[in-house]
Amino acid sequence: MRPAPDRAAGGRPLSMFFVLVTVLSVPFWGLGAWFDSTGEAPIGLPVSALMFVCPVVAASVLVHCREGRAGVVRLLKRAADCSRAPRRDRYLVAAGFMPVVAVTAWVIAGLSGAAVGRLPMPLATVPVLSVVFLIAAAAEELGWTGYATDPMLRRWGELNTGVALGVFWGAWHLVPLVQAHHGALWISGWFATTVAVRVVMVRLYLSTGRSVLSAIFAHASLNVCAAMTPGYGLDHMSLITGGLMVLMALFVADRARRVEASW
């Protein structure tokens, strides 16, 4: 059975959301250009990474204009709503698929003789990183998933939504990535990973009864893996990870097509 969409989502202005996210991000990009913090940050993040607040701010502003304060409260509550999921094991999949990809990429790199390096931080830091990245992921996914995904699904379908939202999500990060001194080859692998991850996240969102929490778990897990994967900043690691994620996204897209064909 197809999960029921959020009724309020149908009339939400999509183009204005993406424009507003971009406009709100410009000051953070400017701050990142003015102040290079990558040497001091624990995982080399530029100060422009603080733009993670922009999607939830943009979504809240637009929802408030159409649905008032009650609509904003409903939006924010979706960050902790796990009651929608018909199968709770999907949350384990959301949190676990990226670590599997990251470990597989590390093994492939090692077997190929490429440099992989050591853990960038002790394993004991994972709980702290998880909390920090869950907060950041909630701020982003209340915008990407809580606000934008349902109207995009209504207009374009599952796969097109995953690809289109993934492309914007990736493009939105390009300025911070350049400010973090990543090269074009590494960014190309990262971009492929990002678009593919969004395709998987949209499938998880639907399979959990449109639970934003599933997207938050997947997003936070992605960031924890980025912080903890040995050799994450190396070109070959980025390209291997991107290739693996694209294969996973193709598999998920095929499964989604089969599910839609059975309805």
Domain ranges in the chain are 7-262
What number is the average pLDDT over the span 173-197? 96
Phi-psi region of 6 (alpha: psi -120 to 50; beta: other; left: phi over 0): beta
Across 106-137, b (16+ Cβ under 10 Å) vs e yields bebbeeeeeebeeebeeeebeeebbebbbebb
Q: What burial class does residue 95 get, using C-beta atoms within 10 Å of its C-beta: 0-12 exposed, 13-18 middle, 19+ buried?
A: middle
C-alpha torsion sign, points 170, 52, 97, 187: positive
Greatest mean pLDDT range, 37-51, 73-87, 98-112: 98-112
Percent of the chain's residues with pLDDT above 90: 76
Q: Would you give the distance in Å from CA 189 to the centre of its chain? A: 15
Q: Indicate the pLDDT class of residue 38, thresholds 50, 70 and 90.
A: low
**Average model confidence (pLDDT) for the chain?**
90
Per-residue confidence (pLDDT) for residue 193, from 0 to 100 = 98
- Tell me 148's DSSP state: I
Rounded average pLDDT over 222-236: 94
CA distance 29 to 193: 22
The answer, as to whether pTM is greater than 0.95, is no
Angle, helices 54-77/14-34, rounded to nearest 10 degrees = 130
The tokens describing 145, both together, are 């998933």
SS3 82: coil
Are 153 and 5 in contact, with CB atoms under 8 Å apart?
yes
Work out the pLDDT band at 7, boundaries 50, 70, 90. Answer: very low
- pLDDT value of position 82: 79
Q: Report the C-alpha dihedral over residues 139, 144, 147, 152, rounded to 10 degrees.
A: 180
